[in-house]
Amino acid sequence: MKYLIIKNMDRFLYKDLIKWKSSEGRKPLVLFGARQVGKTWLLKEFGKQEYSSVAFVSFDRNDSACKLMEEEKSAEKIIRGLSALTGIEITPGDTLIILDDIQDCPIALTRLKVLSEDAPDYHVAACGSLLGIALHEGVSYPVGKVDELYLYPMTFGEFVLANGMKKMEDILRLCDWGLINNLGSEYKDLLRQYYYVGGMPAAVKAYVEGKGLNATRKEQKLILDDYDRDFSKHASARVVPRIRMVWQSIVSQLTKENKKFIFGAMKKGARAAEFEEAIQWLIDAGIVYKVNRVATVQMPLKFYEDRDAFKLFILDVGLMGAMADVPASQIMVGDNIFKEYKGAFTEVYVQSQLATTNIPTYYHTVENSRIELDFVIQLSDNVYPVEVKAEENVKAKSMKVFIENHPDLKGIRLSMKNYESQSWLESIPLYAFRDYLKKR
């Protein structure tokens, strides 16, 4: 794997950008992702490292660029116009064209089809923080004419790299369980730091550059303010209050024993129909993950999906701490963060890492029983019930009882315990489970 060594902000998606550049059937690239996860930065650095020049255009308040896309329908004239606007001589294969904030110029998305068909030798990458919102509102999308990638907040592994610990990340990636077990206390300390900092690049940068915990929290608060402004700026006035109600209720709902999203927890008598649009807006913006219940733990999980029962997770564990105003002492000192808050931080952490693997993820409850599986995942060969424990104490009986009733399945337990494999259960340290799943 090639790493991008620039200011300790390595991103694993870089290798996928390299593959895209060299692929024979390359099409214009659309890079999805929530606001502030580093899309623009990554594309610029990719262009700087891998191309002779970068032609960067942002459609945010750029009337000239959008007018060009509206008036010109030929690939040749679009390329010529972009060259004039950027002052860059655009040449096939040597120049990366970056179209930023493309959701602010919907016609530009349509023009990607023209560039794909008539100018395949030119390398074009587009991104936009609220592109999911635009698509959901009916913006024409060149289906089949673009390549797609999705950038998430920095994973725990990327955070380890950002702290200058490449060998520690290598050990995780190789799933060297002997060394991982021996270095457990070091990984646990890094995970505690990650719970506070999270994976938003601005917060990680502030932390690893030694600006302090207050500066890190300030960056998180600024990101949350940006999200709040997006609610008012990009959602209809009718739905904005409901978006805020959902968004502000997520933390409190996740700290309850039963983390299923309850509409009545927002206001008395609230019904699903009132808030479906608001929830979908947050999902489309990429700042909330929705994990549906499955009625049966059986392949394929999609067949047994219960869309009326779900959990909502914030995209980043660091942002969750900022939203809840959890002080640094509660997270960075001792094991409080692993013991308190009913495992909410741990489940948000697990879901944020699962999201980056593109593994179908659900949860399961057994009717008329207290048995609940925190997550259920589907890998190529089978389904796996997943139990999440914030500490080393793993005495809860849900998983054991469930496997006894489903002996054809093997469980996965995520906790602070060392790696251990048994006939019915594989125990994976929380700090190593993403790499474990990637190798499966």
| Cα of 23 vs its chain's centroid, Å | 25
Shared-domain flag, residues 197 and 242:
yes
What pTM value is reported for the model?
A: 0.93
Does residue 36 belong to any structural domain of this protein?
Answer: yes
Does residue 6 belong to any structural domain of this protein?
Answer: no
Domain containing 352: what range?
Answer: 156-439
Shared-domain flag, residues 96 and 223:
no
Q: What is the pLDDT of residue 397?
A: 76
pLDDT by residue (tens digit) across 272-281? 999 999 999 9
pLDDT by residue (tens digit) across 79-133? 999 999 999 999 999 999 999 999 999 999 999 999 999 999 999 999 998 888 8
How many CB atoms neighbour CB 10 within 10 A?
21
Does residue 1 belong to any structural domain of this protein?
Answer: no
How many CB atoms neighbour CB 74 within 10 A?
12
Does residue 75 belong to any structural domain of this protein?
Answer: yes
Q: What is the pLDDT of residue 330?
A: 76
Does residue 434 belong to any structural domain of this protein?
Answer: yes
Q: Show which of 119, 150, 181 is a domain's final residue.
A: 150
Shared-domain flag, residues 240 and 321:
yes
Does residue 242 belong to any structural domain of this protein?
Answer: yes
Shared-domain flag, residues 223 and 362:
yes
Shared-domain flag, residues 139 and 163:
no
Q: What is the CATH number of the domain that holds 105?
A: 3.40.50.300
Q: Which two three-digit tokens encode residue 33?
A: 């992702």
377: Cα within 13 Å, side-chain hemisphere:
23
pLDDT by residue (tens digit) across 216-258? 999 999 999 999 999 999 999 999 999 999 999 999 999 888 8
Q: Per-residue b/e over 346-370, b at no fewer than 16 CB within 10 Å?
A: bbbbbbbbbbbbebbbbbbbeeeee
Shared-domain flag, residues 169 and 310:
yes
> 361 pLDDT exceeds 80?
yes
Task: Give the CA radius of gyration of the chain.
Answer: 23
Shared-domain flag, residues 176 and 224:
yes
Shared-domain flag, residues 84 and 163:
no
Shared-domain flag, residues 283 and 161:
yes
Nearest CA to 148 out of 332, 2, 16 is that of: 16
Percent of the chain at pLDDT above 70? 95
How many CB atoms neighbour CB 307 within 10 A?
9
**Cβ contact 86:57 at 8 Å:** yes
**Cβ contact 32:75 at 8 Å:** no
